[in-house]
């Protein structure tokens, strides 16, 4: 089906179904219950899951397949965002030209950076990419302020030209849209105590995620993908088999840069604002962590890693002492305070601590990332029968 | 006029004259062995042939074309394949995938974007790879990780990968080094089979005289960066200079 | 002329901080092959050793002074450090004043212990794992260490001044006969520079002239062979990790009077020290030190107003630009060894 | 902390769920029922979103803002001593929540990054049903979140943001700033500086290389040059700089006799510490004592810089000693300091003050408008004149949603009595002196438009 093996088709189908049903799946708790805090099914976070999923999928095409560790991929995301918002300011608030420009500009930038950085390998390559990204960040924050808006970034303004769009009616603002379909518009559904939100922007992002995921499966399974894995596995043999590794690696670099640009373009399409800290090295580090956390070189791992980190950032960080008191109100006062004292350092402003601990636990106990966790669960469920087939699993699953 | 012509090649590393005035001619469709004591310059010569090193002076012609200044992958694409002392294979890939890569390289050249169509749909390539594995008796292992194979099988796979490119010249760098006797014999048999079945020139660098005398039609003895003698195996066996320079040393060692 | 000399001084000073951190980082890279993202956190913990010592020395009990009132109008509470009762007021005040140098004594055992625990408890299990896993685990550890410090000390910088004896400036101008006040430089920065030279020299001498150091250097070159000789290289590497941690920690302790420490100062330095190590060349201690000073000096020159007028924003990017140029012209940095961290 | 502040919501809500039972799914778009985003009409509570930095360099400032918000919520709900509600000139607030609805709140971590701040603000709006977002500790975040609130149709009450742009070229109808700005700092500081240091001074600026730095440098330059000072040099420093020695030493060699540090946060702590280390304060240039000026002061930064702040001039939005030292024009200050100090044990920072005041102002505007509708709130706040919130008589100007009030000029105290007593008040510059035209060129000129208020939905 769709040129995929049965196994890949099933994976794609699962991703598609999960993406379509995300508003339900991510909102398992009734709106009024104490657990509603853990609901993630609101438009912004769902959009972020999809966008960072795309970013990580693209990064994995470079890192997971070729083993080249780029520490500057956020630069492509940022450049894509700037290109996108300028299209939306100059041309039209329709997101199509913006996203197209994001991909193209990020791809071109990746071509330049990749062409130079790929002259070196290993840690030297990583530092070269890091240097380019840090320069982009520093310049965007300061001397490029006329183009980037500096610290305060760029947003849509009432007096932007938008030459393709008609004049705005008084009181009207420019909305990011797809042929009139407003990204921010939502339909809400109430079902008993539950509430579900279906957001246009999210579904567009989800559609792009599914397409991006599908494309990445095709790349993984293609001769090109095989060549990329060959680079990672043995560069010497690659060379002495008559293959020029550099253009393969560069192609992978540019493709992953374009994925990053796509993610950046979607970010401004969903939320019409861009600032330079999107390119800071910690943002580049984040996508590295997402990919490793989920499982580098696996198809679904990076998406899971992206989801986990964004979930922690947006959900755990919002649990404050007030919410803890609500949760544990039923305990005797002394015990309640004790439990809260124990839990408090790990939530709210302590969410970074929890994140750090999760990183360490995953890498210590699940060397292959979250995907390995899933595999272990499946093996556990299948019992001994799976033992035999486990040795024969496809390496690029 | 041989398929490989090395003329007046010199290479210095600082104070060490690694190759001095090397002349070598390998005739088409023969097995030509290059032997010599440690430090004789065998590896340096090999690295010059595959483009890893550039000689200071001299010329290296393959089938009438110079290989000097070309990158290793370009030289490979001209028809020279190399087997390494320790098998260089794609350890993270399956045996079948290992075999498909040189077939793609032969078909598509040094770089081509085939990023969409699945490898499985490249039926001709898959078939050819399967056949090759069949002929190497590796078909049963086709879905295994190649890193998990025995050393002997890795060697077979590597030689098979080189053959899959249908090279005109196959360079072997001590192909049986560190191998058990049985594996060595298997490798000799494999190489004999290749020699018999294909139109191919083989140049082999080897320490193991058993291997050399089982396979070679001509032998060049290298000592201190210079070819000492070149002749048939029978003549080499009794050559006094060789005894002195090479076999003598082996006896002493 | 004065301006140039001053910027070289600035560069040496900044460079000594970079070099000290990079030295420990490259020891760990070179000996253990581990990408240690927690190294910046070790620097930060060193700095907080100084904060802790100064807190301990100023640990106080309160007495109430009825004659004065605090901001809410309640009677004023006066804090008296316990150390006054312990060693007398003047000796106590002297110790409080000298808190930073005193912290060195405290920081060495603490940092070595932290390093050894880290290596034995965590890093050891990651020697054979891919660099990606090392990055994830050490990054996680760095976050955890940072958050622990933030939990106890807050996010705001904490002033930790130098002993009052070192608070002034040295007049190089008068010293060199260039005119008084033309080149003055703070004493503490000179102390920091001298201190880093001592530490760097000490580490080099240790590696060069002790058998321990020789084994470690051999291990850096070829771990397996040294292992074959029957030498317990693992134990040596553990100690080496402890030393690297101590070097980073001491760099942190002495840095506190220059800039008030805060919990994320390690992350601020981490990226730069990685750049320094790589520009110096993987596996080369001399390279790391050299690159530290080189980048420090270049950064200082790039921030001169005259330079900025012709090349606006160059101070923002100079280090990265130089890193790119060096890595493109010299494939393995200034003095890198072949095959280290190139895969 | 007492648990009584918090609804036993878990219990109440379980029963609500039981009552709803297995209702048939109802599908509707928000616009068909509500006139504006997150209308709390059918709820007994109203949710405010407190979006402050909880990680990164401004985490402590964020923590102080959060303390103030929690205090404000207590007071709005009629708990505690009521703080500034007793002194506030508008008497619309009754201590029974806002329009009878109990005030609840959600918190988020901006990380001082626009992306993260917008993400948490959006989650508050989309998930938690917040009707207002408030807080923050930098102008980048304030501008980003303000634009978001404009699009989403909720009110934004800025926390600490000092760049002109927030109510200048980036002003928005749904956004309001109580804090003062760069221009006001310049206007307030320049006369004091010339009075203290004379009109014949040569200034050297070090400026953080981003928007806030630019506007602050411009403001101080223009206002000091107008009074006779000369600017000999202005050098931009990277935001990520930690050691400023390379920028300080050229100052020593110029003929400048004043150093202006247009820095904030760690930049300011480090540059000031470095400047003092290099002995600038002990220097005599042009027969005058060398001086250092820090246009925007914060108590937390002053604490971070330690002894280095002694004698350094700067400006503040507010200080906890205002009423004690300058009298009852600044009524409200003591009431606020008292309730804050009794709850937390130390005096509030100016960031805490502005956040507390913003919360009260919002609640009061809702009461006066009789609606949570953002457009009604905007109308109630525009041109609103009030007093009793610690800054003296204040105006929320209609044209740009900037508060106009006295600016406090302070100086680092030579002999602080405790760790919170870091600055002494030099004067409170009267509001007239720091007022500018809404279309001033520094504030985007005639192009800067608030646009129409957006009620969302």
Contact A33 D17 (CB under 8 A): yes
Q: In angstroms, how far is CA C40 from the centroid of its own chain?
A: 8
Separation between Cα atoms, residue A311 and residue D75, nearest integer Å: 33
- The model's confidence at residue D447, banded by pLDDT at 50, 70 and 90, is confident
Q: Do B161 and A241 touch (CB under 8 A)?
A: yes
D296 or D24, which is more confident = D296
Chain D interface includes C268 (CB < 8 A): yes
What pLDDT is recorded for position D13? 37
What pLDDT, on the 0 to 100 scale, is given for residue D281?
A: 87
d(CA D394, CA B20): 93
How high is the mean pLDDT of chain B?
89
Q: Could you give phi then psi for residue A71, rounded to 5 degrees?
A: -110, 25
Average the pLDDT over A252-259 and give the result.
98
End-to-end CA distance of chain A: 17
| CB contact (8 A) between residue A352 and residue D63 | no
Q: Would the CB atoms of D30 and A186 count as touching at under 8 Å?
A: yes
Chain D contacts in chain C segment 311-340 (CB below 8 A): 312-313, 315-316
Is residue D308 less than 8 Å (CB to CB) from chain C?
yes
CA distance to partner chain A, nearest, from residue C122 (Å): 9
C284 or A66: which leads in pLDDT? A66
Let me know if residue A65 belongs to a domain. Answer: yes
Considering only CB atoms, A318 lies closest to which of D14, D62, D106, namely D106
Residue-level pLDDT at C322: 94
Per residue, the 3-state secondary structure of B42-88, as one string, reads HHHHHHHHHCCCCCCEEEEEECCEECCCCCHHHHHHHCEEEECCCCC
Task: Give the per-residue pLDDT at C87.
Answer: 85
**Nearest-by-Cβ selection for C157 from D249, D269, D282:** D269
ipTM: 0.91
How many domains, chain A?
Answer: 1
Sign, Cα dihedral of D105, D111, D113, D115: negative
D26 interfacial to chain A (CB closer than 8 Å): yes
Of the candidates D209, D235, D242, which has its C-beta nearest C316's C-beta? D209
Q: Is C272 on the interface with A (CB under 8 A)?
A: no
- Does residue A321 form part of some domain? no
Using the Cα atoms of residue A17, residue A18, residue A24 and residue A29 in order, give the sign of their dihedral. Answer: positive
The pLDDT, as a whole number, for residue C184 is 81
- Nearest Cα of chain D lies from the Cα of C1 at a distance, in angstroms, of 11
Strand partners, B19: B11
Q: Domain range spanning residue A273? A: 47-177+201-207+214-300
* Among the listed residues D30, D37, D52, the one whose alpha carbon sits nearest the alpha carbon of residue D105: D52
Chains C and D touch (3+ CB pairs under 8 A): yes
Q: Which residue of C has its CA nearest to D325?
A: C71
> Mutual orientation of helices C99-121 and C89-97 as an angle, nearest 10°?
60
Q: Which of C28, C280, C299, C327 to mutate to test the interface with A (most CBs of A within 10 A)?
A: C327
CA angle A215–A218–A224, rounded 5-degree value: 115
Nearest to D250 among C269, C304, C315 (CB): C304
Selecting from D11, D127, D139 the residue whose C-beta is nearest the C-beta of A152 gives D139
User: Residues near D224 by Cβ (< 8 Å), separated by ≥ 6?
Assistant: D186, D189, D190, D193, D194, D201, D203, D231
DSSP of B136-203, one letter per residue? TT-GGGTTSBGGGS-HHHHHHHHHHHHHHT--SEEEEESTTTT--HHHHHHHHHHHHHHHHHS--EEE
Residue A3 to residue B71, Cβ atoms within 8 A: no
Supply the DSSP symbol for A167.
Answer: P
The SS3 assignment for D45 reads strand
Q: Would an 8 Å CB–CB cutoff place B117 in contact with chain A?
A: yes
* A143·D6 Cβ contact <8 A: no
Query: Which residues are paired to D230 by β-bridges?
Result: D202
Are C and A close enough to touch, i.e. 3+ CB pairs under 8 angstroms?
A: yes
Q: What is the pLDDT of residue D417?
A: 76
Residue C56: band (very low, low, confident or very high) from pLDDT cuts 50, 70, 90:
very high
CA distance C278 to chain D (A): 21
Q: Which of the four pLDDT bands, split at 50, 70 and 90, describes residue D20?
A: very low
- pLDDT interval class at C270 (50, 70, 90): confident
Contact map slice: C 95-114 vs D, CB within 8 A: none
How many Å lie between the alpha carbon of D200 and the closest alpha carbon of chain A?
32
A234 at the B interface (CB within 8 A)?
yes
Rounded-to-integer distance, Cα D432 and Cα D187, Å: 10
Interface test with B, best of A239, A246, A395 (most B CBs within 10 A): A239
Q: What is the pLDDT of residue D25?
A: 43
The DSSP secondary-structure symbol of D202 reads E
- % of chain D at pLDDT higher than 90: 75
Per-residue pLDDT of B83-92, as tens digits, reads 998 999 999 9
Say yes or no: C11 contacts chain D, CB-CB below 8 A.
yes
Inter-chain CB proximity A229 and B90 less than 8 Å: yes
Domains, chain D, ordered by start = 28-180+329-405 (3.40.50.2300), 183-316+408-434 (3.40.50.2300)
Question: In the prediction, which pLDDT does C6 show?
Answer: 86
Domains of chain C by residue range: 2-329
Per DSSP bridges, beta strands B4-13 and B57-62 are antiparallel
> Do residues B139 and B133 touch, judged by C-beta distance below 8 A?
yes
Nearest to D260 by CA among D231, D227, D299, D282: D231
pLDDT at A396: 41
Closest CA to D90 of D357, D303, D345, D302: D357
| Sign of the CA dihedral with D415 first, then D418, D420, and D426 last | negative
Which among D143, D135, D140, D187 is positioned nearest to D160, based on CA atoms? D135
- How many angstroms separate the CA of residue D99 from the nearest CA in chain C? 33
State whether residue A370 sits within 8 Å of chain C by CB: no
D263 Cβ contact list (under 8 Å, min separation 6): D206, D207, D208, D213, D237, D271, D272, D294
| Strands D26-28, A186-191: pairing kind | antiparallel
Q: pLDDT value at position C343?
A: 64
Nearest CA in chain A to C273: A127
The pLDDT tens digits for B116-131 are 889 888 999 999 999 9
CATH topology for B4-79+167-252 is: Rossmann fold (3.40.50)
Q: Which helix (H) or strand (E) holds D132?
A: strand D132-135
Is the confidence at residue D24, as pLDDT, over 50?
no
Q: Does C275 touch chain A (CB under 8 A)?
A: yes
User: Residue A369 has what pLDDT?
Assistant: 92
Binned at pLDDT 50, 70 and 90, residue C110 comes out as: very high
- Chain A residue nearest residue C279, CA to CA: A124
- Contact, A304 vs A294, CB < 8 A? yes
**C328 min Cα distance to partner chain A (Å):** 8
Contact A193, D25 (CB under 8 A): no
Contact A326 D116 (CB under 8 A): no
First to last CA, chain C: 46
**What is the overall mean pLDDT for chain C?**
87
Strand, helix or coil for residue D158? strand
Interface test with C, best of A348, A360, A367, A371 (most C CBs within 10 A): A360
| Residue D236 forms contact with A (CB below 8 Å) | yes
**Cβ of residue A388 closer than 8 Å to a chain B Cβ:** no
Point out the residue among D266, D283, D320 whose CB comes nearest to the CB of C157: D266
Provide the sign of the torsion angle of the four alpha carbons B102, B107, B111, B116, taken in this order. negative
pLDDT at C236: 81
Of the candidates A129, B52, A121, A230, the one whose C-alpha atom is nearest the C-alpha of residue C343 is A121
Cβ separation A122–C343 shorter than 8 A: yes
Mutate: best of D81, D246, D424, partner C, most C CBs <10 A: D246
Mean pLDDT check: name the lowest of A245-249, A383-387, C278-282: A383-387
Q: Tell me, what's the pLDDT at A1?
A: 65
Q: Which residue of A has its CA nearest to D105?
A: A322
Task: Find the CB nearest D27 among A33, A173, A189.
Answer: A189
The arithmetic mean of pLDDT across residues D21-32, rounded, is 41
Q: Is D418 at the interface with chain A, CB within 8 A?
A: no
For chain D, positions 310-339, list CB contacts with chain C under 8 A: 320-321, 337-338
Q: Distance (Å, rounded) from C-alpha A71 to C-alpha A128? A: 8
- Closest C-alpha to B225, from B28, B33, B34: B34
Rounded mean pLDDT, D433-441:
95
Q: Which pLDDT value is given to residue C227?
A: 64
C2 lies within 8 A of chain D by CB:
yes
Please name which of C238, C266, C247, C252 lies closest in space to residue C122, comparing C-alpha atoms: C238
Mean pLDDT over A92-107 rounds to 96
């Amino acid at each position: 089906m769709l040129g995929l093996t049965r196994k890949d088709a099933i994976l794609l189908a699962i991703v598609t179904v999960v993406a379509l049903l995300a508003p339900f799946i991510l909102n398992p708790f009734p709106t009024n219950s104490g657990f509603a805090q853990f609901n993630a099914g609101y438009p912004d976070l769902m959009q972020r899951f999809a966008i960072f999923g795309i970013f990580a999928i693209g990064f994995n095409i470079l890192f997971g397949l070729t083993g080249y560790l780029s520490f500057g991929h956020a630069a492509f995301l940022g450049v894509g965002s700037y290109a996108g918002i300028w299209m939306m300011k100059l041309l039209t608030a329709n997101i199509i030209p913006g996203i197209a420009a994001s991909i193209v500009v990020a791809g071109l930038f990746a071509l330049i950076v990749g062409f130079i950085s790929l002259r070196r390998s290993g840690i030297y390559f990583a530092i070269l990419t890091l240097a380019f990204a840090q320069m982009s960040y520093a310049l965007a924050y300061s001397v490029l302020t006329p183009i980037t808006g500096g610290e305060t970034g760029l947003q849509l303004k009432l007096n932007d030209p938008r030459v393709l769009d008609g004049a705005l009616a008084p009181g009207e603002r420019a909305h990011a849209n797809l042929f009139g379909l407003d990204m921010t518009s939502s339909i809400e559904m109430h079902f008993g105590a539950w509430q579900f939100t279906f957001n246009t922007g999210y579904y567009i992002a989800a559609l792009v995620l599914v397409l991006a995921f599908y494309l990445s499966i095709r790349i993984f399974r293609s001769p090109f993908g095989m060549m990329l894995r060959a680079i990672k596995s043995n560069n010497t043999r690659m060379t002495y088999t008559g293959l020029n590794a550099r253009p393969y690696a560069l192609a992978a670099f540019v493709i992953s840069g374009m994925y990053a640009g796509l993610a950046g373009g979607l970010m401004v399409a969903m939320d019409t604002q861009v600032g330079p800290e999107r390119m800071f090295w910690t943002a580049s580090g984040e996508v590295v962590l997402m990919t490793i956390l989920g499982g580098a070189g696996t198809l679904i791992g990076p998406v899971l890693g992206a989801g986990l980190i964004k979930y922690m950032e947006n959900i755990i960080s919002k649990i404050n002492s007030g919410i803890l008191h609500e949760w544990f109100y039923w305990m005797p006062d002394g015990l309640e305070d004790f439990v809260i004292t124990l839990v408090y350092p790990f939530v709210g402003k302590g969410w970074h601590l929890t994140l750090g601990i999760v990183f360490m636990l995953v890498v210590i106990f699940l060397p292959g990332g979250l995907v390995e966790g899933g595999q272990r669960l499946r093996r556990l469920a299948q019992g001994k029968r799976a033992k035999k087939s486990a040795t024969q699993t496809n390496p690029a699953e | 006029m041989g398929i490989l012509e090395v003329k007046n090649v010199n290479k210095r590393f600082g104070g060490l004259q690694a190759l001095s005035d090397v002349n070598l001619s390998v005739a088409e469709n023969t097995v030509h062995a290059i032997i010599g004591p440690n430090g004789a310059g065998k590896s340096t010569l090999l690295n010059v042939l595959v483009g890893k090193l550039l000689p200071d002076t001299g010329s290296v012609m393959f089938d009438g074309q110079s290989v000097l200044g070309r990158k290793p992958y370009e030289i490979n694409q001209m028809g020279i394949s190399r087997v390494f002392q320790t098998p260089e294979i794609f350890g993270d890939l399956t045996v079948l995938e290992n075999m498909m890569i040189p077939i793609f390289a032969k078909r598509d050249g040094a770089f081509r974007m085939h990023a969409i169509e699945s490898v499985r749909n490249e039926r001709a390539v898959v078939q050819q790879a399967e056949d090759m594995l069949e002929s190497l008796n590796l078909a049963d292992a086709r879905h295994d990780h190649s890193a998990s194979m025995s050393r002997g099988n890795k060697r077979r796979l590597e030689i098979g990968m080189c053959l899959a490119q249908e090279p005109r010249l196959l360079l072997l760098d001590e192909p049986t080094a560190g191998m058990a006797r049985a594996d060595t014999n298997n490798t000799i048999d494999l190489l004999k089979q290749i020699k018999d079945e294909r139109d191919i020139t083989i140049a082999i660098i080897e320490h193991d005289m058993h291997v050399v005398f089982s396979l070679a039609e001509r032998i060049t003895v290298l000592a201190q960066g210079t070819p000492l003698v070149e002749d048939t195996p029978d003549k080499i066996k009794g050559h006094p200079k060789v005894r002195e320079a090479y076999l003598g040393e082996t006896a002493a060692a | 002329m004065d301006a140039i000399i001053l910027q070289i001084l600035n560069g040496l000073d900044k460079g000594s901080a970079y070099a000290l951190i990079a030295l420990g980082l490259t020891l760990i890279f070179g000996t253990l092959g581990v990408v240690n993202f927690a190294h910046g956190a070790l620097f930060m913990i060193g700095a907080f050793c100084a904060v802790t010592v100064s807190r301990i020395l100023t640990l106080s009990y309160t007495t109430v002074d009825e004659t004065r009132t605090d901001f809410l109008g309640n009677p004023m509470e006066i804090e008296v450090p316990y150390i006054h009762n312990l060693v007398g007021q003047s000796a106590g005040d002297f110790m409080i004043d000298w808190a930073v140098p005193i912290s060195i004594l405290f920081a060495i055992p603490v940092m070595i212990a932290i390093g050894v625990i880290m290596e034995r408890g965590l890093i050891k299990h990651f020697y054979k794992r891919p660099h990606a896993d090392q990055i994830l685990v050490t990054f996680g550890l760095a976050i955890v260490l940072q958050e622990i410090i933030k939990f106890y000390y807050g996010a705001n910088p904490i002033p930790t001044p130098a002993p009052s004896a070192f608070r002034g400036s040295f007049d190089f101008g008068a010293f060199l006969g260039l005119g008084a006040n033309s080149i003055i430089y703070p004493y503490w920065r000179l102390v920091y520079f001298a201190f880093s030279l001592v530490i760097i020299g000490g580490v080099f001498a240790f590696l060069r002239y002790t058998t321990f150091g020789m084994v470690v250097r051999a291990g850096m070159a070829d771990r397996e062979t040294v292992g074959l000789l029957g030498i317990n290289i693992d134990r040596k590497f553990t100690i080496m990790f402890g030393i690297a941690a101590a070097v980073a920690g001491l760099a942190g302790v002495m840095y506190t009077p220059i800039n008030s420490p805060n919990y994320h100062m390690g992350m601020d330095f981490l990226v730069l020290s990685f750049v320094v190590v790589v520009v110096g060349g993987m596996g080369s201690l001399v390279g790391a030190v050299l690159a530290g000073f080189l980048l420090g000096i270049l950064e200082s020159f790039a921030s001169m107003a005259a330079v900025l007028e012709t090349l606006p924003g160059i101070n923002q990017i100079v280090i990265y630009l130089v890193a790119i140029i060096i890595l493109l012209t010299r494939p393995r940095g200034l003095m890198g060894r072949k095959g280290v961290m190139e895969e | 902390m007492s648990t009584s502040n918090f609804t036993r919501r878990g219990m109440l809500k379980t029963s609500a769920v039981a009552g709803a039972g297995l209702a048939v799914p109802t599908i509707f778009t928000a616009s068909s029922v509500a006139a504006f985003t997150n209308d709390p009409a059918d709820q007994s509570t109203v949710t405010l979103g407190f979006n402050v930095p909880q990680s990164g360099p401004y985490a402590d400032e964020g923590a102080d803002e959060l303390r103030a918000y929690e205090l404000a919520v207590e007071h709005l709900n009629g708990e505690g001593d009521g703080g500034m509600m007793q002194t506030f000139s508008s008497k619309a607030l009754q201590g029974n929540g806002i329009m009878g609805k109990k005030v609840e709140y959600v918190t988020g971590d901006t990380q001082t990054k626009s992306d993260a701040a917008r993400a948490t603000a959006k989650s508050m709006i989309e998930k938690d049903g917040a009707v207002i977002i408030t807080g923050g500790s930098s102008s980048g975040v304030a501008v980003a979140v303000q634009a978001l609130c404009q699009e989403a149709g909720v009110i934004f009450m800025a926390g600490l943001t000092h760049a002109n742009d927030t109510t200048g070229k980036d002003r928005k109808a749904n956004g309001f700033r109580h804090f003062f700005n760069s221009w006001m700092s310049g206007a307030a500081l320049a006369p004091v500086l010339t009075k203290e240091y004379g009109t014949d001074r040569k200034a050297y600026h070090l400026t953080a290389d981003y928007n806030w730095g630019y506007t602050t440098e411009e403001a101080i330059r223009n206002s000091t040059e107008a009074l006779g000072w000369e600017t000999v040099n202005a050098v931009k420093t990277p935001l990520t700089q930690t050691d400023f020695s390379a920028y300080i030493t050229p100052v020593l060699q110029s003929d400048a006799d004043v150093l202006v540090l247009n820095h904030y946060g760690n930049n300011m702590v480090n540059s000031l510490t470095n400047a003092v280390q290099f002995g600038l304060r002990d220097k005599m240039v042009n027969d005058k004592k060398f001086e250092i000026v820090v246009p925007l002061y914060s108590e937390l930064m002053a604490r971070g810089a330690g002894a280095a702040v002694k004698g350094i001039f700067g400006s503040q939005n507010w200080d906890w000693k205002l009423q004690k030292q300058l009298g009852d024009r600044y009524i409200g200050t003591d009431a606020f300091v008292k309730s804050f100090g009794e709850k937390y044990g130390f005096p509030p920072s100016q960031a805490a003050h502005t956040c507390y005041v913003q919360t009260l102002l919002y609640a009061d505007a809702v009461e006066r408008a009789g609606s949570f509708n953002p457009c009604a709130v905007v109308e109630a706040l525009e041109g609103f004149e009030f007093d009793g919130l610690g800054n003296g008589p204040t105006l929320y100007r209609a044209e740009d949603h900037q508060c106009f009030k006295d600016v406090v000029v302070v100086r680092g105290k030579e002999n602080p009595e405790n760790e919170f007593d870091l600055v002494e008040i030099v004067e409170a510059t009267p509001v007239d002196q720091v007022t500018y035209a809404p279309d001033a060129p520094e504030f985007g000129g005639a192009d800067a438009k608030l646009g129409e208020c957006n009620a969302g939905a």
